């Protein structure tokens, strides 16, 4: 009789070769290996829908198949492989060589076999890594599910069918499998009634465990059970009051998140490394306050080279570089380094505690967000930064998050940092660097406060970047206090008729009239400065539509210069009212010699055609 499925094909082959087979319930069997004694039952067999699993505990499984005259394809009902059908329309095809392809609705987010979960929600559900494991668990009578596409893809799945259920997450015993299990547990927080991570007692995964003859109760717990959502409260009378401690008094609280925002090329990274230097050598802060406790610094640098930029900048700032630790990656079990993210809170906390670090610099924030986090989605950002803030609070390490500004102009400085408002919302303090709009050299910058939840806003500080002697990098030269706040530094000049814009245009136009209608730009700006106007305000006013001021370039190359000009100097003949023609002649009472019509129309303007 021709076998109707792979299980029968395997059993027939064993019988044909004189091997005894003891068939059990649940599609399981134990068989004698070819060439072994009659008492041998070292071959385990598990019948699943569409295929059969086999494992030899004596000879290699491949040798057993060879002895029986079978191939991997013979272990499938259809020798081309098996199809796994999801409730939402996805179809996953697996061939005998463990190659997969997708068809049907490939955007289906359903869990494999979620549609078959029992109505009773107290029964535990096993969350495994692959469809093969789901089918293996189901042979024991328990429900199981998995996400499509294997490890690391659980975030793409609809987990709602697991709401309120106890979930047992079975991790494959390798790096990707364990990370996948941890991801599942994190995603099920607030969804599942409880979660626990387990591993196979024998073999790599759930299918191996069951094939080896173990019960599900024998799965090995590797992570303590995480209970479902519950409210935990504390009486404030039981909370011991604490004073705020500061890393930099008034600007960087200890154990909190702090933002540092600014456009590129203003020196954010150099500033951050200057702060690091102060901490490593217990130096003096730029406002002459003292760093009271020295400590180590951890650096996540995604933009600058360690050897050619970061180390020279630290040296130029006078840092104790033995106390600065640059994170290069996270080591996997096979020694491979993978880029770190702010999702790796456990590893960051471990390094902070090992080094007793006082400051963690993240340069820049966007480079270290986990791959699936949308920096503009408040929920995504708060999930990442909430865990980071908890870590900072528990370790006492300040986390400095560097950001570029967005492309908006002016406005509230809190909204100018890149990404979601949730970023600065999670921070307890914020700083911003901006170019000094009144500085003629274009070199002076200002460090200003954008947020100060734990104390009064500190004064702004002026600085410039200067070349560090004997190096190719810059260092910070502090220039004292600045009276402007962050809003003033970012504000755009606003003009209304009869207000600042008109006043500036009038001053410029009057000066150009005195110069005959045109003057070098440098001379104009020198004149407006003497009138108390900033170059930035004057240039903004000139560029507005309707100013009547043109810019023209004279000459070429290094000898070229810019001129500002007006079309009709104040008081010139061209600027008279409409009754005067282009040559200053009154035409109001004149008539055309040919037709006798007046040369001016009803509106008083000259008729150029009649």
Q: Tally the domains of the chain.
A: 4
Residue 43's Cβ-side half-sphere holds a number of Cα atoms within 13 Å equal to 30
Confidence of residue 599 (pLDDT cuts 50, 70, 90): very low
Residue 14 sits in the same domain as residue 89: no
In a domain, 117, yes or no: yes
- Of all residues in the chain, the percent with pLDDT exceeding 70 is 88
Residue 396 sits in the same domain as residue 466: yes
Domain of residue 217 covers 82-226
Residue 556 sits in the same domain as residue 445: no
Tens of pLDDT, residues 116-147: 999 988 899 999 999 999 999 999 889 999 99
Tens of pLDDT, residues 2-22: 778 989 999 999 999 999 999
* Cα 428 off chain centre by: 19
**What pLDDT sits at residue 171?**
94
In whole angstroms, what is the distance from residue 348 CA to residue 342 CA?
8
What is the rounded average pLDDT of the residues 66-95?
93
CATH number at residue 185: 3.40.1360.10
Q: Flag whether pLDDT at 584 surpasses 60.
A: no
In a domain, 472, yes or no: yes
In whole angstroms, what is the distance from residue 231 CA to residue 233 CA?
7
Residue 94 sits in the same domain as residue 67: no
What is the rounded average pLDDT of the residues 315-321?
96
Per the structure block, which two tokens stand in for 571?
Answer: 């008081």
**What pLDDT sits at residue 229?**
52
Residue 13 sits in the same domain as residue 52: yes
In a domain, 593, yes or no: no
* pTM of the predicted protein model: 0.50
Tens of pLDDT, residues 487-506: 888 876 554 444 577 788 88
What is the rounded average pLDDT of the residues 275-290?
95
Residue 329 sits in the same domain as residue 456: yes
CATH number at residue 354: 3.40.50.300
Q: Flag whether pLDDT at 161 surpasses 90.
A: yes
Residue 411 sits in the same domain as residue 438: yes
In a domain, 352, yes or no: yes
Preceding amide of 364 cis, omega within 30: yes
Residue 273 sits in the same domain as residue 415: yes
Q: How many C-beta atoms surround the C-beta of residue 60 within 10 A?
A: 9
- 3-state percent breakdown (helix, strand, coil) of the chain, nearest 5: 30, 25, 45
Average the pLDDT over each of 185-189, 393-397, 408-412, 508-512 and give the range with the smallest value.
408-412
**What pLDDT sits at residue 105?**
92
**What pLDDT sits at residue 580?**
39
φ/ψ bin of 58: left (φ > 0), alpha (ψ from -120 to 50), beta (otherwise) = alpha
CB 153 within 8 A of CB 147: yes
What is the rounded average pLDDT of the residues 323-333?
91
In a domain, 592, yes or no: no
**What pLDDT sits at residue 92?**
93
In whole angstroms, what is the distance from residue 604 CA to residue 190 CA?
78
Confidence of residue 602 (pLDDT cuts 50, 70, 90): very low
Residue 454 sits in the same domain as residue 534: no
Residue 446 sits in the same domain as residue 522: no
What is the rounded average pLDDT of the residues 301-306?
89
Residue 461 sits in the same domain as residue 504: no
From 431, 465, 490, the end of a domain falls on: 490
């Amino acid at each position: 009789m021709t076998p109707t499925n792979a299980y029968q094909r395997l059993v027939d082959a064993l019988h044909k070769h004189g091997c005894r087979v003891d068939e059990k319930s649940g599609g399981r069997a134990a068989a004698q290996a070819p060439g072994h004694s009659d008492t041998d039952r070292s071959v385990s067999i598990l019948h699943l829908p569409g295929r059969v699993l086999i494992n030899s505990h004596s000879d290699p499984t491949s040798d057993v198949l060879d002895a029986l005259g079978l191939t991997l394809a013979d272990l499938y009902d259809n020798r081309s492989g098996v199809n796994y059908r999801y409730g939402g329309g996805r179809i996953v095809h697996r061939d005998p060589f463990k190659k997969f392809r997708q068809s049907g609705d490939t955007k289906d987010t359903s869990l494999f076999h979620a549609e078959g979960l029992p109505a009773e929600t107290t029964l535990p559900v096993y969350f495994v890594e692959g469809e093969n494991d789901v089918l293996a668990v189901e042979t024991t009578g328990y429900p199981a599910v998995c996400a499509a596409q294997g490890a690391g893809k659980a975030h793409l799945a609809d987990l709602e069918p697991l709401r309120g259920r106890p979930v047992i997450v079975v991790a494959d015993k390798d790096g990707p499998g364990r990370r996948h299990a941890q991801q599942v547990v994190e995603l099920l927080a607030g969804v599942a009634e409880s979660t626990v991570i387990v591993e196979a007692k024998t073999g790599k995964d759930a299918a191996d465990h069951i094939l080896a003859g173990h019960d599900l109760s024998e799965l090995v717990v590797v992570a303590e059970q995480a209970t479902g959502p519950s409210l935990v409260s504390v009486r404030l009378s039981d909370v011991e009051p604490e004073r705020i401690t500061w890393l930099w008094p008034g600007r960087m609280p200890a154990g909190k998140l702090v933002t540092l925002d600014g456009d590129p090329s203003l020196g954010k990274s150099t500033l951050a490394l200057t702060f690091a230097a102060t901490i490593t050598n217990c130096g003096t802060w730029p406002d002459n306050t003292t760093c009271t406790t020295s400590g180590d610094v951890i650096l996540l640098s995604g933009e600058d080279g360690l050897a050619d930029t970061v180390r020279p900048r630290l040296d130029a700032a006078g840092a104790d570089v033995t106390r600065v630790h640059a994170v290069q990656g996270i080591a996997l079990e096979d020694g491979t380094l993978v880029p770190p993210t702010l999702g790796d809170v456990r590893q960051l906390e471990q390094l902070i505690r090992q080094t007793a670090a006082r400051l963690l610099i993240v340069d820049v924030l966007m480079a270290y967000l986990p791959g699936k986090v949308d920096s503009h989605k408040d929920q995504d950002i708060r999930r990442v930064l909430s865990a980071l803030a908890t870590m900072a609070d528990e370790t006492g390490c300040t986390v400095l998050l560097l950001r570029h500004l967005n492309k908006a102009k002016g406005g509230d400085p809190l909204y100018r940092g890149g990404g979601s408002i949730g970023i600065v919302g999670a921070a307890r303090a914020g700083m911003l660097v901006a170019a000094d709009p009144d500085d003629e050299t274009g070199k002076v910058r200002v460090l200003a406060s954008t947020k100060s939840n734990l104390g009064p806003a500190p004064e702004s500080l002026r600085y410039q970047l200067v070349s560090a002697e004997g190096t190719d990098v810059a260092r910070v030269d502090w220039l004292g206090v600045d009276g402007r706040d962050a809003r003033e530094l970012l504000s755009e000049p606003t003009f209304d008729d009869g207000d600042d814009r008109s006043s500036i245009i009038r001053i410029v136009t009057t000066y150009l009239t005195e110069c005959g209608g045109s003057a070098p730009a440098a001379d104009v700006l020198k004149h407006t400065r003497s009138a108390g106007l900033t170059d930035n305000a004057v240039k903004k006013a000139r560029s507005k539509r309707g100013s009547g001021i043109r810019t023209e370039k004279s000459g070429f190359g290094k000898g070229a210069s810019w001129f500002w000009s007006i079309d009709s100097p104040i008081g010139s003949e061209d600027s008279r009212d409409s009754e005067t023609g282009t040559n200053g002649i009154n035409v109001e009472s004149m008539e055309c010699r040919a037709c006798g019509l007046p040369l001016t129309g009803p509106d008083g303007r000259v008729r150029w055609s009649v």
